[in-house]
């Protein structure tokens, strides 16, 4: 169920292809859910009802918040006010958008979880376990890489992500990324441990759902308090990475050419236009 919220959040928050996402979101969600559990007709109808309500809420309540945030970001770019601190603020606002979505859909997801059959539960967690095994295998492969190889891969990922928004990077900008890349902490193993702990807690709750009158309340608490399953080390490293990323972006921002800055502003404008279109077209 948490993975379903993640997908829903990603699809709704993604600026790219936003109109396509809204027009096809019900199909995309069903396609995703089918990979984990086969719903009965009754369950599918209930899910569709909840989903329609979620989407209406998101369109009427949330999109305006996204537009306001994006306009604030655009103003910071245009007026050259992007600092590590302001970037951190924008990242936290983005997280708040996600948390509102998560908190809104969690009660209905808990209702759906309460109605899963034992066979569906087994199918769901079997698929999740197989995914965990695949992730663990990739982690084991990564452990065989040298520090230089890890850094090169990280540099490439960062360059690809940033160039999507500003275009081709200059030598100076690539040098800045290369300067910061070795200082980022790898958190994949800690993330996998968190993922397993969260899934274990969910499985224990769901297995006792029929005899637990507080199941839905406890399941909502589980979905809305994920930090309880993140180790202190994991939370600290995530924070350090976020702060480091903000400092790197601040330094990069003041090296942007006019062409790169215009491309970034156009990207933001495109997202604003998409969200405003969706707000006015049901």
Distances 263 to 66, 82, 152, 276 between C-alpha atoms, Å: 20, 16, 26, 20
Q: What is the pLDDT of residue 30?
A: 72
DSSP-derived letter for residue 230 is: S
Q: What is the mean pLDDT of residues 104-112?
A: 94
Kind and range of the H or E element at 6? helix 2-13
Q: Residue 5: which of 92, 113, 88 has the closest Cα?
A: 113
Distance from C-alpha of 114 to C-alpha of 214, rounded to nearest angstrom? 11
Question: Which H, E and C letters describe 36-94, residue by residue?
Answer: CCCCCHHHHHHHHHHHHHHHHHHHHHHHHHHHHHHHHHHHHHHCCCCCHHHHHHHHHHH
pLDDT for res 21: 67
- For the segment 121-131, the average pLDDT, to the nearest whole number, is 94
pLDDT tens digits, residue range 158-197? 999 999 999 999 999 999 999 999 999 999 999 999 999 9
pLDDT at 13 > cutoff 60: no
Tokens for 210, please give them: 């029929």
pLDDT surpassing 60 at residue 145? yes
Asked whether residue 235 carries a pLDDT value surpassing 60, the answer given is yes
Extract the tokens encoding 117. 């059959």
Assign 11 a pLDDT band (cuts: 50, 70, 90): very low
Distant-in-sequence contacts of 61-65, Cβ < 8 A, 24+ apart: 62/12, 62/97, 62/100, 62/101, 63/275, 63/276, 63/278, 63/279, 64/279, 65/97, 65/100
Per-residue pLDDT at 10: 44
Mean confidence (pLDDT) of the chain? 89
Is a pLDDT exceeding 70 seen at residue 22? no
Per-residue confidence (pLDDT) for residue 272, from 0 to 100: 92
Share above pLDDT 70 across residues of the chain, in percent, rounded to a whole number: 90
- Tell me the C-alpha distance between 177 and 171, whole Å: 10
User: Is pLDDT of 4 > 60?
Assistant: no
Integer Cα distance of 50 and 108 in angstroms: 7
Q: How far apart are CA 169 and CA 8, in angstroms?
A: 32
Q: Where are the domains of the chain?
A: 2-280
Whole-number percent of the chain with pLDDT over 90: 76
Distance CA 66, CA 39 (A): 33
Helix, strand, coil percent content, the chain, rounded in steps of 5: 85, 0, 15
- As a whole number, mean pLDDT of residues 124-150 equals 92
Q: In this predicted structure, what is the pLDDT of residue 160?
A: 96
Q: How far apart are CA 269 and CA 266, in angstroms?
A: 5
Confidence of residue 12 (pLDDT cuts 50, 70, 90): very low
């Amino acid at each position: 169920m948490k993975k379903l919220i993640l997908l829903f959040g990603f699809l709704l928050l993604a600026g790219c292809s936003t109109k396509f996402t809204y027009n096809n979101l019900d199909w995309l969600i069903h396609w995703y859910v089918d990979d984990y559990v086969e719903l009965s007709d009754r369950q599918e109808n209930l899910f569709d009802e909840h989903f329609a309500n979620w989407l209406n809420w998101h369109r009427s309540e949330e999109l305006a918040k996204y537009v306001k945030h994006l306009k604030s970001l655009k103003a910071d770019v245009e007026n050259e006010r992007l600092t590590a601190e302001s970037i951190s603020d924008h990242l936290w606002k983005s997280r708040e958008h996600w948390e509102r979505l998560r908190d809104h859909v969690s009660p209905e997801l808990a209702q759906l979880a309460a109605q899963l059959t034992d066979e569906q539960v087994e199918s769901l967690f079997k698929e999740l376990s197989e995914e965990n095994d695949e992730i663990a295998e990739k982690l084991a492969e990564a452990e065989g890489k040298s520090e230089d190889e890890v850094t090169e891969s990280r540099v490439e990922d960062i360059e690809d992500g940033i160039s999507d928004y500003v275009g081709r990077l200059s030598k100076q900008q690539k040098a800045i990324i290369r300067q910061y890349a070795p200082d980022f902490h790898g958190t994949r193993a800690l993330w996998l441990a968190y993922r397993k702990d969260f899934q274990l807690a969910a499985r224990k709750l769901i297995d006792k759902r029929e005899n637990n009158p507080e199941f839905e309340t406890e399941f909502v608490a589980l979905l809305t308090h994920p930090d309880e399953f993140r180790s202190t080390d994991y939370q600290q490293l995530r924070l350090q990475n976020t702060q480091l990323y903000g400092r790197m972006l601040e330094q990069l921002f003041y090296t942007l050419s006019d062409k790169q800055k215009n491309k970034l502003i156009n990207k933001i404008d495109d997202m604003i236009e998409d969200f405003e279109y969706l707000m006015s077209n049901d």
